[in-house]
Amino acid sequence: MNELTQESNTQKVALVTGATGFVGSHLVKRLVQEGWQTHIICRIDSSIPAFTDIITHFHDGSTDSMIQCVADAKPDVVFHLASLFLSQHEAKDIDALIQSNVLFGNQLLEAMRVNSIHNLINTGTSWQHYNNEDYNPVCLYAATKQAFEALLEYYVQACDFKAITLKLFDTYGPNDPRPKLFHLLNKAATSEQTLDMSKGEQLIDLVHIDDVVEAFMIATQRLLDNKIETQESYAVSSGKPLPLKELVQLYSKSIEQPIKINWGARPYRFREVMKTWDKGPIIKNWSPRITLEAGLKELTD
């Protein structure tokens, strides 16, 4: 139990968007464990995992519905994680990207303003910093994350919001439903088929989901302790990125099976992130605790 729940007699209230996703579902579990009354906002057709002790609000897509969700929850802190991730987009994706990553978020900010709720933990991405630049989006998804931050800045400047944006890198851990690297590697190992990959020199900065959730909890404490004036932004980085090729070797060692890879058979992706962003400040009192070796072992146990 953290300082907050020990010291406070009144139960704190959280409202989480993106709670059905990989990071959001782990965050919700931790909030509930720590004694928060936890509310989530879902779409009407979201498939909701079997959470216990949470209160679900359904958003019908309108601003009025969002205002009602926030009014019903009356949160002390809003955690905004909902997002549509697309590493590359096509013309047909524009509406969904803007709807999920800009419109939904703006409706949330407006609903907070109308209900006089001012504390927000937001989720950004290291992909807002291609080539290690202050702002250079890797892809349109990353540009929409930046667009949301620009909207948030208005609410911070004009409406007294306090916000912390945590910029995530690659997260991993148990119960990850996303079709990501480790799923592919597992499939290749068990089928003994050869996997075509790029040259594998791109750096990957992996942070275990429990460490990511810990960063959210530390940021929340900071917000509630009134340690911030306006808006802060932090990188949730392992500080130890490694080339994809090395990561595959580590994973192969961890599952004790060879993985056949045809390195260089595929070109790098358009705007592949070869070097990860390393200029973001790290939030005080946080550092990753789970080593990659331990995290990979947990995935394969």
Ligand X SMILES: NC(=O)c1ccc[n+]([C@@H]2O[C@H](COP(=O)([O-])OP(=O)(O)OC[C@H]3O[C@@H](n4cnc5c(N)ncnc54)[C@H](OP(=O)(O)O)[C@@H]3O)[C@@H](O)[C@H]2O)c1
d(CA 195, CA 192): 9
43 touches ligand X (CB under 6 A): yes
Binding ligand X (rule: CB under 6 A), the pick from 21, 75, 137, 241 is: 21
Report which of 216, 241, 233 is spatially closest to residue 292, judged by C-alpha positions.
241
CB of 74: closest distance to ligand X in angstroms?
20
Between vectors from CA 268 to CA 125 and to CA 274, what angle results, nearest 5°?
45
Return the SS3 of 52: coil
CB of 25: closest distance to ligand X in angstroms?
8
241 touches ligand X (CB under 6 A): no
Nearest residue to ligand X, scored by beta-carbon proximity: 21
Binding ligand X (rule: CB under 6 A), the pick from 106, 115, 119, 125 is: 125
d(CA 137, CA 128): 4
Binding characters for ligand X, 100-119, by CB under 6 A (x = yes): x---x---------------
24 touches ligand X (CB under 6 A): yes
85 touches ligand X (CB under 6 A): yes
CB of 258: closest distance to ligand X in angstroms?
27
CB of 9: closest distance to ligand X in angstroms?
32
Surface-to-core class of residue 97, CB atoms within 10 Å of its CB (0-12 exposed, 13-18 middle, 19+ buried): buried
Q: Which whole-number Å values give the CA distances from 137 to 11, 228, 277, in the listed order?
A: 39, 27, 11
**Of 5 and 98, which CB lies nearer to ligand X in the complex structure?**
98
Q: Which whole-number Å values give the CA distances from 44 to 19, 41, 48, 78, 111, in the listed order?
A: 13, 9, 10, 20, 18
CB of 60: closest distance to ligand X in angstroms?
10
Q: Which residues bind ligand X (CB under 6 A)?
A: 17-24, 42-43, 46, 81-85, 99-100, 104, 123, 125, 168, 170-171, 178
